[in-house]
Chain A
Amino acid sequence: MDILNAIVVLSNFVLIPALAYGSQIALGALGITLIYSILRFAHFAHGDIMAFGTAFVILGTWGLQAMGVSFGPLPTALLALPLGIAVIILYLLLADRMVYRFYRKVKAKPMIFVMASLGVMFVTNGLTRLIMGPGERRFDDGERFVFSVREFREWSGLAEGLALRSSQVITVVVALIAMALLFWFLNRTKSGKSMRAYSDNEDLALLSGINPERVVIITWAIAGTLMVLAGTLYGLDKSYRPFTYFQLLLPFFAAAIVGGLGSPLGAIVGGYVIAFAEMGITYAWRRFFNHLLPDDWAPTTMLQIIPVDYKFAVTFAILVLVLIFRPTGIFRGKTL
Chain B
Amino acid sequence: MTFAIRNIFLFGLMALALVFTGMYQSWPLALTIVNMALISAIMALGVNMQWGYAGIFNVGIMGFTAFGGLAAVLIAMPPVPDAWAAGGLGAIMGLMLGAATIFAAIIVYRKMAPGKLRGLSIALVIIVGYWITSMIYGPATHAISRVNPAVDGYLGGLGLPVILSWPLGGLMAAGLAFVVGKVALGLRSDYLAIATLGISEIVIAVLKFEVWLTRGVNNVSGIPRPVTRPVELQTREWVQALAERTGLSVSEMARVVELVSYAALFTIVLAILIWLAEKALNSPWGRMMRAIRDNEVAARAMGKDVTRRHLMIFILGSATCGLAGAMMVTLDGQLTPGSYEPLRFTFLIWVMVIVGGSGNNWGAVLGAFVIWFLWVQAEPAGRWFMDTITSGLGPDSDLRNHLMTQAAHTRLIMMGAALLLMLRFAPRGLIPER
A adjacent to B, CB under 8 Å: yes
CB distance from B31 to the nearest CB of A (A): 27
Q: Does B209 contact A (CB under 8 A)?
A: yes
> Within 8 Å CB of A44, what residues of B?
59, 193
Q: Does B410 contact A (CB under 8 A)?
A: yes
CB distance from B400 to the nearest CB of A (A): 13
CB distance from B221 to the nearest CB of A (A): 22
In contact, B412 and A111 (Cβ under 8 angstroms): no
CB distance from A329 to the nearest CB of B (A): 11
Q: Does A217 contact B (CB under 8 A)?
A: no
How big is chain B's contact interface, by range?
35 or more
> Within 8 Å CB of A247, what residues of B?
201
- Bound-state CA distance A324–B405 (Å) is 47
> From B51, which residue of chain A is reached at the shortest CB distance?
A111
> From B411, which residue of chain A is reached at the shortest CB distance?
A126
In contact, B194 and A42 (Cβ under 8 angstroms): yes
Chain A 116-136 interface mask (CB, 8 Å, partner B; 1/0): 101111111111011101100
Chain A 99-128 interface mask (CB, 8 Å, partner B; 1/0): 100100000001110111011111111110
In contact, B198 and A327 (Cβ under 8 angstroms): no
> Within 8 Å CB of A126, what residues of B?
409-416
Contact pick for B198, options A125, A127, A254, CB 8 Å: A254
Q: Does A243 contact B (CB under 8 A)?
A: yes
In contact, A323 and B191 (Cβ under 8 angstroms): yes
In contact, B410 and A249 (Cβ under 8 angstroms): no
Contact pick for A324, options B183, B197, B205, CB 8 Å: B183
Interface of A is mostly: helix
Q: Does B112 contact A (CB under 8 A)?
A: no
Interface residues of A in 206-222 (CB under 8 A from B): none
Q: Check A312/B351 contact, CB under 8 A, given A122-B413, A250-B198.
A: no
Contact pick for A307, options B59, B193, B209, CB 8 Å: B209
> Within 8 Å CB of B419, what residues of A?
115, 118-119, 122
- Bound-state CA distance A133–B59 (Å) is 25
17 contacts between A and B (CB under 8 A): A110-B189, A111-B189, A114-B193, A115-B419, A118-B419, A120-B420, A122-B412, A126-B410, A126-B411, A126-B416, A243-B341, A305-B130, A310-B202, A312-B198, A323-B187, A323-B191, A335-B188
8 A-B pairs closest in CB distance: A122-B416, A126-B412, A123-B416, A126-B413, A119-B420, A316-B198, A129-B409, A119-B419
**Beyond the given A111-B189, A335-B188, could you list 8 further A-B residue pairs with CB under 8 A, ordered by the A residue number?**
A41-B190, A99-B424, A102-B424, A125-B343, A250-B197, A309-B205, A309-B208, A312-B202
Residues of A that sit less than 8 Å from B by CB: 41-42, 44, 99, 102, 110-112, 114-116, 118-127, 129-131, 133-134, 243, 246-247, 249-250, 253-254, 257, 305, 307, 309-310, 312-313, 315-316, 319-320, 323-324, 327, 335-336
